[in-house]
A and B are shown apart, each in its own frame.
Chain A
Amino acid sequence: MAIARPALHEGTRPRGVYTRHDIHGDTVLDADVVVVGSGAGGSTIAAELAEAGFEVVVVEEGSYYQTRDFTADTSAMVRQLYRDGGATMALGTPPILYQEGRAVGGSTVINGGMSWRTPDKVLQRWEREAGLAGITRDLDEYFTRVEKRIHVAPMDPDVIGNDNHLLKKGADAKGWNIIGNLRNQNHCAGSNRCAFGCPTGAKQSALVSYVPRALHYGTRIYADVRVDAITRHGKRATGVIGTVRGTSHRITVRAKLVVSACGAIHTPALLARSGFKSPSGYLGRNLSMHPNVKVVAIFDESVANWKGAHQAFQVREFQDQGLVFAAVGMPPSVLAMSFPHRGQQLGTLMDQYDHMLLAGMLCEDTATGRVRTIDGKPQAFYQLAEADAANLKRGVSLLSELLFAAGAKRILLPFHGAPDLYGPDDARRLLDQHIPAKGWEVVTVHMMGTARMGNDRTRDVTDGFGLVHDADRLMVADASLFPTPIGVNPMETIMALATRNAGFVIDNAKRFLS
Chain B
Amino acid sequence: MSYRHSATGRAVLRSLVPVICPREAFDLADAIVDHMALTLGASPSLLQKGFAAGLLTYDLGALPRYLCRARALHGDKAERYYASWEHGPTPLHTQFARAINQLMSLSCYEMPQMMERVGYRPAPFIAEVTQRRLTVYRDDVRKQEAQILAPDPLRPNVRIGKRMRAS
Interface residues of A (CB under 8 A from B): 1-3, 5, 32, 48, 51-55, 71-72, 74-76, 78-80, 82, 84-88, 145, 148-149, 151, 159, 186-187, 189-191, 193, 199-202, 204, 208-209, 212-213, 216, 304, 306-307, 331-340, 342-344, 346-348, 350-351, 353-354, 499, 502-503, 506-507, 509-510, 513-514
Contact = CB atoms under 8 A, between A and B. Distances in A.
Given A53-B161, A84-B44, A200-B133, A213 B149 contact: yes
Leading 3 A-B pairs by shortest Cβ distance? A347-B22, A85-B42, A53-B160
A343 B21 contact: yes
A306 B2 contact: no
Contacts of A191: 122, 125-126, 129-130
Contacts of B47: 84, 87
B159 interface: yes
Interface in B96-130: 98, 101-103, 105-110, 114-115, 117-120, 122-123, 125-126, 129-130
Contacts of A213: 148-149
B133 A503 contact: no
A342 B158 contact: no
B137 interface: yes
B117 to A, nearest CB: 7
A513 B105 contact: no
Contacts of B89: none
Contacts of A340: 98, 101
A79 B38 contact: yes
A502 B110 contact: no
A51 B160 CA distance: 9
A75 B148 contact: no
A350 B117 CA distance: 9
A509 B163 CA distance: 12
Contacts of B43: 84-85, 87
B155 A52 contact: yes
A53 B159 contact: yes
Contacts of B117: 351
Interface residues of B, number: 67
A88 B42 CA distance: 11
A51 B19 contact: no
Given A32-B165, A353-B118, A510-B167, 20 more contacts: A52-B155, A52-B159, A53-B158, A53-B160, A75-B107, A79-B39, A84-B43, A85-B42, A149-B147, A187-B137, A189-B129, A193-B126, A307-B125, A332-B114, A332-B120, A334-B106, A347-B23, A348-B22, A506-B158, A513-B167
A87 B137 CA distance: 38
Contacts of B153: 51-52
B133 A202 contact: yes
B37 A2 contact: yes
Contact of B105 (A2, A306, A339): A339
12 contacts: A2-B2, A32-B165, A51-B154, A52-B160, A80-B42, A85-B42, A189-B130, A191-B125, A193-B126, A201-B141, A333-B108, A350-B109
Contacts of A307: 125
B145 to A, nearest CB: 8
Which of B44, B129, B136 counts the most A-chain CB atoms under 10 A from its CB?
Answer: B129
Nearest to B119: A354
A307 B120 CA distance: 10
Contacts of A145: 154
B128 to A, nearest CB: 9
A191 B123 CA distance: 9
A208 B144 CA distance: 10
Nearest to B38: A2
